[in-house]
Amino acid sequence: MPLMQAPLATEPGSALSGHYPNLFALAGKPRNAINSKIEQAFNQLFYGDANTQTLYYPDGGNGNGALAYILDINNDDVRSEGMSYGMMVAVQLDKKAEFDALWNWAMSHMYQEDPNHPAYGYFAWSVSPRGQVNDPMPAPDGEEYFATALYFASVRWGDGKDIYQYRQQADTLLTHMRHRKVITGETLRGRQSATNLFHPDHAMVRFTPDLAHADHTDASYHLPAFYEVWASMGPQADRAFWQRAAQASRDHFSLAAHPNTGLTPDYGNFDGSPWAAPWREESADFRFDAWRTAMNWSFDWSWWRKDPRAQQLSDRLQAFFAGEGLDEYASQYSLDGKKLDNAQTTGLVAMNAVASLAATNPVAQEFVEALWQQPIPQGQYRYYDGMLYMMALLHVSGQYRAWLPEPQGPQS
């Protein structure tokens, strides 16, 4: 099997060149087998058995068209995270009907349009499948994925009417994320005050806009690859800020990652130190949120080639997991590498494979092969594993792309 060749730092990033590396193909997998694997994963996760396989549930329609949601089966709720991931998968795979149905559901049941509500302009992070809000505050990664998926939809399909004016909707959301003023009012959780989603001084995404915890962050919410898109497509007045945010996030990755293991905490402070939230002290460890951080620095490097430290981070992280054993590593660790469970899960296997987009060590190929061998998640815990698996397949196969207004090269 041929060794994958790490891209040179001097080569332009994929978002500029239009050439997205297909790590499966570089590892010797036939292209028809790669495409078949992706098609099967989408079909099962969106249209498989309702009790054991699918995450995507049609939910009738309204005046804006069809409705559908992505369900967290284990917790029996609909999360802005999953809805926005589903939209990103749909736009990457040219699935406009599914994209629009998810967006319609999010706008109908998750979006807060009351200008006096502390969550005004944002999406409730958790809603019941029946559309009842569980927690009105946003989890900012949902807004980040919503905005970017909308920009990509505008480029790929063109803008429609009303809520399907994709670019206008993205601009509005981005403006709230950047400039929303403090609003205090009554919510389902009592009286709350909330502000913008990005700290104006640190230029970093907040853990939450709720002022009670707004001075913290989450490394897995940092998406510099998206901020570069916003800097080229978003409202003109804020483009310099998004460039600044992209660099701040790249710096944050290097501060947050452990110097020996490359592991990052679930929650953190703006200076990169871990944050043990009062209600969840284990958030200072490498747990479920943190799996995604390596994906974020790796596809940023692949798309934009702005920070070669991403290569060092991927090499460090993969060296740690390879040292644990490709088939033996666990899913949760202290930052210095002590096992906190004994279960290997598809979601982390998937994210470690995406780290190969930035890695330079030949062991990166083994992480790609591990993803190839994973079955499509099903059963009670298929939501998080399934969404990360689906996105990883697209990243690793070169089918997760930056859809920009003026293509800079062939989309191949």
Q: What percent of the chain has pLDDT over 90?
A: 95
List of residues 6+ apart from 259 with CB closer than 8 A: none
Averaged pLDDT for residues 41-53: 98
Among 1-5, 162-166, 184-188, 295-299, the least confident range: 1-5
Residue 122 has pLDDT above 80, yes or no: yes
Torsion angle, CA of 328/331/335/338, rounded to 10 degrees? -50
Q: What is the pLDDT of residues 383-394, one digit of tens each?
A: 999 999 999 999
Residue 8 has pLDDT above 60, yes or no: no
- Quick one: which of 33, 139, 36 has its CA closest to 80? 139
pLDDT confidence band for 408 (50 / 70 / 90): very low
Residue 1, pLDDT score = 35
Q: What is the pLDDT of residues 362-385, one digit of tens each?
A: 999 999 999 999 999 999 999 999
Residue with the larger pLDDT of the pair 1 and 26: 26
Residue 411, pLDDT score = 47
Residue 4, pLDDT score = 57
Q: What is d(CA 96, CA 102) in angstroms, rounded to the nearest whole number?
A: 10
Q: What is the pLDDT of residues 81-104, one digit of tens each?
A: 999 999 999 999 999 999 999 999
Q: What percent of the chain has pLDDT over 70?
A: 96
Residue 112, pLDDT score = 98
pLDDT confidence band for 261 (50 / 70 / 90): very high
Among all residues, which ones are annotated catalytic? 81, 289
Distances (CA, A) of 210 to 114, 115, 173, 206, 245: 17, 16, 17, 9, 20
pLDDT confidence band for 224 (50 / 70 / 90): very high
Q: What is the pLDDT of residues 326-351, one digit of tens each?
A: 999 999 999 999 999 999 999 999 99
Residue 10, pLDDT score = 67
Residue 406, pLDDT score = 76
Averaged pLDDT for residues 257-281: 98
Residue 407 has pLDDT above 60, yes or no: no
Residue 169 has pLDDT above 90, yes or no: yes
Averaged pLDDT for residues 141-161: 98
Instruction: Give, to the nearest 10 degrees, the angle between helix 293-304 and helix 382-396.
Output: 20
Residue 3, pLDDT score = 45
Residue 7, pLDDT score = 55
Residue with the larger pLDDT of the pair 3 and 386: 386
Residue with the larger pLDDT of the pair 412 and 249: 249
Hey, how many other C-beta atoms are within 10 angstroms of the C-beta on 167?
17
- Strands 198-199 and 190-194, how do they pair? unpaired
Averaged pLDDT for residues 127-152: 98
Residue 11, pLDDT score = 81
Handedness of CA 197, 200, 202, 203 (dihedral sign): positive
SS3 330: coil
Among 7-16, 88-97, 191-200, 350-359, the least confident range: 7-16
Averaged pLDDT for residues 315-326: 98
- Quick one: which of 141, 168, 303 has its CA closest to 229? 303
